[in-house]
Amino acid sequence: MKKIKQHIITVQEAEKLIEKYYEGETSVAEEKQIHQFLSQKNLPEQFEAEKAIFGYFESEKPKKKVYKLPAQLKWITSAAAVAGIAVFSLIFVNQSNASNYAYIDGVKTTNKWIIKNLAQSTVKNLVAENTELETTLENIRGNNVIEAQLDVFSEIEF
């Protein structure tokens, strides 16, 4: 049996271990021996394919370390997030208490009925050249769509 310089296993032993590796029957220690054998400088050409395979596994990115946050820090960050949401909610709610309004001829109006009457008279004055559009306008005029939309609008708080 011919031994390769400065290595523990022989060519024949390496062949057997590689075959065993492909069958999925090697231990971690045996895989280290294969890796050590394939890492030598004067490797016989018959092992170039295996060297490439083991080199591929060696070149995989190392796994990143996962750092766990201490439990106390988790509670602190959770409390900070809840406090931030509470502050944002309070600011948003306070701003949304402003009443809804519309500008009619440059004048701010909050009276829903004035806005409704103006919208209805505007829709009544619309003329459509297309029968499909005229049908849609008739539905808007007759089905209290404007009032329903104003009700929805007055319920929404901005």
The pLDDT tens digits for 90-116 are 776 655 545 677 788 888 887 877 877
When comparing pLDDT for 36 and 58, which is higher? Answer: 36
Number of compact structural domains in the chain: 2
Does the residue 82 lie in any domain?
no
Q: How confident is the model at residue 76 (pLDDT cuts 50, 70, 90)?
A: confident
Does the residue 68 lie in any domain?
no
Does the residue 148 lie in any domain?
yes
3-state SS, residue 109: strand
Residue 141, domain extent: 102-155
Task: Round to whole Å and give the CA distance between 59 and 47.
Answer: 18
Does the residue 63 lie in any domain?
no
Q: Pick the range with the lowest mean pLDDT from 25-34, 54-63, 114-123.
A: 54-63
Name the average pLDDT for the chain. 74
Does the residue 24 lie in any domain?
yes
CA atoms within 13 A on the CB side of 2: 5
Does the residue 107 lie in any domain?
yes
Does the residue 93 lie in any domain?
no
Our measurement of the distance from residue 76's CA atom to the centroid of its chain's CA atoms, rounded to an integer in Å, reads 25
CA atoms within 13 A on the CB side of 78: 7
Give DSSP secondary structure letters for 136-154.
HHHHHHHTTHHHHHHHHHH
103, β-bridge pairs: 108
Does the residue 117 lie in any domain?
yes
